[in-house]
Amino acid sequence: MTQRPVRRSSWGALFFFAALGLCLGSGVARAQLPATAMGTGAPDQGDPRVEAALLTDVSQVKPGDSFRIGVRFRMDPGWHIYWKNPGDSGLASEIVWDTPGTTVGELQWPTPITFRSPDGFITSYGYGEEVLLFAQAHVSDKLTGSAQLSAAADILVCETRCLPAQLMLTRNIPLGSETRPDPEHAPLFDEALSRVPVTPESSGHVVTLALDTKPLTAGRPFTGTLTVTGPKGQPVPAVEKDFFVPERVRGLARLALSPVEGKPGTFKLEGETAPDVPEQEPRFVGVLRLGPASVGRPSLTLDLPLAPVVAAEPGAAGAAPVVKPAPAPKPPAVVATAVAPESSLSLGLVLLFAFLGGALLNLMPCVFPVLALKAYGFTRTVHAERGKVVLHAVAYAGGIIGSLLALALAVLALRAGGHSVGWGFQFQEPLFVAAVAAVLVAFALNLFGVFTVGTDGTALVEKVDSSHGLARSAGEGVLAVVLATPCSAPLLGTAVGFALAAGPATVLATFFMLGLGLALPFCLLVLVPGLAKLLPKPGAWMERGKQLLGFALLGTTVWLVWVMGGLTGVDGMARLLAFLAVVGLGAWLYGLAQGSTGARKAAGVAAVVAVLAVGGVFSLRFEETGPAVRKASAVGEAQPWDEAAVAAALEAGQPVFIDFTADWCLTCKFNERTVLTREDVQAAFAEHRVAFFVADWTRRDARISSKLAEFGRAGVPMYLVVSPVSPDKPEVLPELLTSDTVIDAVRRASKRMADAR
Amino acid sequence: MKSLFTAVALAVMLPVVALAAETAQVGKPAPAFTLKDESGKEHSLSQYKGKVVVLEWTNPGCPFVQRHYTAGTMQKTLAGFDANKVVWLAVDSTAANTPDKSAAWRKEKGFSYPVLQDPSGTVGKSYNAKTTPHMYVIDEQGVVRYAGAIDDDPRGNKKTGVTNHVKTAVDALLSGKPVPAATTEPYGCSVKYKS
């Protein structure tokens, strides 16, 4: 730092001083600065309040080389100029370059200081005393002679009063065979550079921003939390006063950070959106000073996405007694990503989606065992009691619809209790998984003939009593629903997502339509006369077929055991298997008791109850394992989903693929195994440097539930492809993936990035 | 006696009203005020109900204000409006301002509207006025519809294509349309409040 010269009282004195310097040769470098490269401005009763000098960090430059160019401003004591965001008042300093043959890059702004009016009402940002605003410059290798440099500076110099100043500074830098640093000025540039804020990435800091509410509402305040972690996780130091300087952000009226007491590196964010809905989602942009640069603490330049801004509802929240209808608020430019089109679904369309989704569920792998079972049951019934076919169909549909409505009521009850639930949520509950597995095992053992249901165990097929048959049909309907929930069919996710966000009547109506759709194939089988007759005639094959179906159910049980493993770990799996063994024992004992009568039968049933109770108490204790025990995903290089990590990947220019999945979601597993792990898909991921994230919803996770809800979904699977160019507009892929869908989406995300360059 | 009572009541109530209304926000009712102009005449915001009111925070000592008055920005903008529908009030919240200075400034620049005297800064702060010039447009019902800069040319170096935000806002209000940009960043000197 050179010592601050005394204030000169006039141009004459300046020239005199400069001439004196030249004559005496008091400083070689100072002497080299031509008079045209220096200027003064903001004359205050004839006395300039600022002086400026056009500096470079080289005294000679080789064509094709780069150097630094800047304007140094020195202000009188008490006077200041402004940062790129001047704050409440003032005017950003501006430098316009005119440098033929030399390109000058973006102006670098050292971290500013904060000025406040004595009453604290007006805050502005800028520089007092001395500042060097500089940029990188590159000399064309075709340039000869010398590089002509000129800078027009437009600044506002304020104390209490404000004085505008326009300065024109010019000089030439000789070109030569080598670039020679300017020994006096190069250190000034180094010093200024050390004061320029750096990105968190380059300094190893991790910055995350969590808003308390999303989306933001125009003209309303919002809050959030910003956390900063130092390199290698070390804590950031406590900050000093005026540590944060916001940039001017379109769409925001206010942006302020305050440190959270006792938690270094944690800041409370308070902001307010402008009354207009901005065309683009506002970002959080500003400079965070972690400490004085002199002790090696950098300032960080922050640029984080906020959230979309939507218009306030007209007439809401304290609107004035407006007699004339207030001007219609502009329709929100872009409402929260993909929610807009889906939320605008009409109820009719949602019900149609629910119906079609329910019908498609029949083709999903989870419902298939029941489908087979039902086909078997119908084969028997259709030929045995033609008149009752319709009744059976009604019972089956009734079982489906009844249990779906029960599910809807459960959802509503949970929602009323403040829980966030989604399609398939019950599979996040270990006891539910255990119960379904137990029912399946019992069902299988029944098909194997270990015990019989409802009759005395003789002549089962012949003595099908109609009421029992109907109850069984209804039960099969319930089982279809139980098994269908982990499969989210196309359209279904949309419909249920919409319904879960709507009122109780809509929820019930949607689930009702879903049930009708699920029951549709069998209703068709019955209502279209010719179809039922196409089924094969009953015979001895039916007994073997029945036993075969038992194994299909055991297969489903294997899957549930695996789900339990994801939920509760190896111990949980073992406990479930133990419980299932107990269930098997119980079924066998029950089968024995069925063969006897009187007291022996009663004792048998009591033994069954005792065995189940004791076995249940000892085995049904599932402890959810911590989230640390995560399995490797089916897809290589996958990272657990995290908003901050996604933001970091996008920041680094990588397209992002997010796989919202769950162990109990067969559609998800199917997609992962048949599409996402395919070689061509993997090759496309590698080619476009896709960051692959897995959001695992096997267990309850409010973050994932709310993310799904953001896209109008209530369950998994959901696939998002995000381009770094438009991080706020992810593309949502269909529930059933094909490799082409995935590859095309990834290409688009990557291409948009290439286009934007 | 009765008028004295009213005056005392007003004097006591005024800051309370201003506080109650907090600060001016676009879309909300404009904070009420009663201020004397440079000739001692009282002006209340409420008396202009039914008209569009433009408030201009001003300070003759500010170079930005001087530039606009030399170029006639404010005068010409007002001249473009229907005088029966639009009222223009300058407000000077500069602590060191006096009615004489305002009168001399008005005479020098030859504009027609009054300069309201707010040396205590109460009204200025209730409007969150930070710069000179800082402009507010209030609709016929007394709701703030625009707050911000006079135009989009902070440096005064645009040759063409300058958008006058106040003109845009007032024109929109008079034709019953929503104001296209309800807020802009004001620019200029800071308001020199009493401290």
Of B169 and A347, the structure prediction assigns the larger pLDDT to B169
pLDDT at res. A366 = 59
Which residues of chain A are within 8 Å of residue B27 when distances are taken between CB atoms? 219, 275, 312, 319-320, 326
Question: Per-residue confidence at B94, pLDDT binned at 50, 70, 90?
Answer: very high
Question: Which residue has better confidence, B86 or A349?
Answer: B86
Q: How far is CA A628 from the centre of its chain?
A: 20
Q: Does the CB of B193 have a partner CB in chain A at under 8 Å?
A: yes
Q: Check whether A496 has a pLDDT greater than 60.
A: yes
**Stronger pLDDT, A427 or B54, i.e. the higher one:** B54
Q: What's the rounded Cα separation, in Å, for the pair A331 and A158?
A: 41
- What average pLDDT score do residues B175-182 get? 87
Residue B119 touches chain A, beta carbons under 8 Å: no
CB contacts of B31 in chain A (<8 Å) are none
Check if B175 contacts A (Cβ < 8 Å).
Answer: no
Average pLDDT over residues A516-521: 83
Interface of B with A in 122-161 (CB under 8 A): 125, 130-131, 139-143, 145, 154-155, 157
**ipTM here:** 0.76
Is residue A54 within 8 A of residue A171, CB to CB? The reply is: yes
The pLDDT score that the predictor gives to residue A26 is 39
- Please answer yes or no on whether B183 and A274 come within 8 Å at the CB atom: yes
Please say if the pLDDT value at position A286 is more than 70.
yes
Distance from CA of A260 to the nearest CA of B (A): 27
pLDDT at A159: 87
Task: Examine the pLDDT at B159 and tell me if it is beyond 70.
Answer: yes
Question: How many whole angstroms separate alpha carbon B138 and alpha carbon A582?
Answer: 78
Most confident range, picked from A559-563, A673-677, B78-82: B78-82
Please report, to the nearest 10 degrees, the dihedral formed by the alpha carbons of residues A515, A474, A486, A631 taken in order: 180
A-chain residues within 8 Å CB-CB of B121?
A: 119
Q: Which of B141, B181, B192 sits opposite A320 (nearest CB)?
A: B141
* Closest chain B residue to A318, measured at CA: B28
Q: How far apart, in whole angstroms, are the C-alpha atoms of residue B69 and residue B60?
A: 9
A660 Cβ contact partners less than 8 Å away, ≥ 6 residues apart: A641, A668, A695, A697, A704, A707, A708, A713, A716, A717, A718, A719, A720
The predicted pLDDT at position B42 comes to: 92
pLDDT of residue A501: 60
Nearest to A162 among B63, B155, B176 (CB): B63
Contact A154 B29 (CB under 8 A): no
A88 vs B155, B177, B190: nearest CB: B190
> How many Å apart are CA B64 and CA A397, to the nearest integer?
78
In the predicted model, what is the mean pLDDT of chain B? 85
Q: Which of A24-28, A247-251, A297-301, A344-348 is predicted least confidently?
A: A24-28
* Confidence at B134, pLDDT banded by 50, 70, 90: very high
Please check the confidence at residue B50 and state whether its pLDDT lies above 80: yes
> Is B62 near chain A, with CB under 8 Å?
yes
A64: DSSP letter: T
Q: How far apart are CA A220 and CA A673, in angstroms?
A: 46
Q: How far is A51 from chain B (nearest CA, A)?
A: 19
Q: Nearest CA to CA, how far is A167 from chain B (Å)?
A: 14
- Mean pLDDT over all residues of chain A? 76
pLDDT value of residue B54: 96
Q: How far apart are CA A457 and CA A461, in angstroms?
A: 10
Measured CA distances, A425 to A28, A611, A664, A707 (Å)? 78, 30, 10, 15
Most confident of the ranges A86-90, A383-387, A612-616? A86-90
**Per-residue pLDDT tens over the stretch A12-68:** 444 444 444 443 443 444 446 888 888 888 787 778 889 999 999 998 999 988 999
DSSP states of A728-753? T-PEEEPSS--HHHHHHHHHHHHHHH
The alpha carbon of residue B174 is apart from the nearest alpha carbon of chain A, in Å, by 12
Nearest C-alpha in B relative to A330: B178
Cβ-nearest to B143 among A89, A158, A322: A322
| Of the listed ranges A568-577, B56-65, B120-129, the one predicted with least confidence | A568-577
What pLDDT score was predicted for residue A90? 86
Chain A residues with beta carbon closer than 8 angstroms to that of B181:
276
What is the least distance, in Å, from the CA of A119 to any CA of chain B?
Answer: 5
Determine, for residues B28 and A118 on separate chains, whether the beta-carbon distance falls below 8 Å.
Answer: no
Q: Does B72 touch chain A (CB under 8 A)?
A: no
What pLDDT band is residue B39 in, cutting at 50, 70 and 90?
very high
Structural element, H or E, at residue A708: helix A702-710
Distance CA B98, CA B92 (A): 9
The pLDDT of residue A272 = 86
Whether pLDDT at A135 is above 90: yes
CB contact under 8 A, A276 and B181: yes
Instruction: Please tell me the distance in Å from A50's CA to the nearest CA on chain B.
Output: 16
Which one of B63, B176, B185 has the shortest CB-CB distance to A163? B63
% residues pLDDT > 90 (chain A): 8
Range with top average pLDDT, A269-278, A700-709, B41-50: B41-50
At residue A634, does pLDDT exceed 90? no
The nearest CA of chain B is from the CA of A127 a distance in Å of 16
Residue-wise pLDDT tens digits, A574-591: 888 988 998 898 888 888
Mean pLDDT on A425-432: 72
Tens of pLDDT along A503-515?
A: 778 788 888 888 8
Does residue A474 contact residue A368 with C-beta atoms inside 8 Å? no
Greatest Cα pair distance, chain B, in angstroms, is 59
Percent of chain B with pLDDT over 90: 56
Residue A624 pLDDT > 60: no
The more confidently predicted of residues A64 and A666 is A64
Nearest chain B CA: its distance from A311 CA (Å): 12
Tell me what percent of the residues of chain A surpass a pLDDT of 70: 74
Higher pLDDT, residue B9 or A171: A171
Q: Are A565 and A573 in contact (CB under 8 A)?
A: yes
Interface of A with B (CB under 8 A): 86, 88-91, 94, 117-119, 121-122, 124, 154, 156, 158, 160-164, 219, 248, 253, 274-276, 312, 318-324, 326-330
Provide, as residue numbers in chain A, all residues whose Cβ is less than 8 Å from the Cβ of B157.
154
Highest average pLDDT, of A207-211, A447-451, A534-538, comes from: A207-211
Q: Which range is least confidently modeled, A439-443, A503-507, A545-549, B50-54?
A: A545-549
Residue B127 CB neighbour total at 10 angstroms = 26
Mean pLDDT (whole number) for B36-52 = 92
Mark yes or no for CB contact A88/B141 under 8 Å. Answer: no
pLDDT reading at A80 higher than 80: yes
Give the confidence band of A110 by pLDDT, cuts at 50, 70, 90.
Answer: very high
Interchain pair B142, A118: CB under 8 A: no
Q: pLDDT confidence of A202, banded at 50, 70, 90? A: confident
Q: Which of A66-70, A480-484, A723-727 has the lowest mean pLDDT?
A: A480-484
Task: Work out the average pLDDT over A178-206.
Answer: 88
Does residue A47 contact residue A157 with C-beta atoms inside 8 Å?
A: no
Q: Both ends of chain B: CA-CA distance in Å?
A: 35
Interchain CB distance below 8 Å, A275 and B182 = yes
Among chain B residues, the shortest Cα distance to A160 is held by B192
Q: What is the pLDDT of residue A28?
A: 42
pLDDT at A533: 64
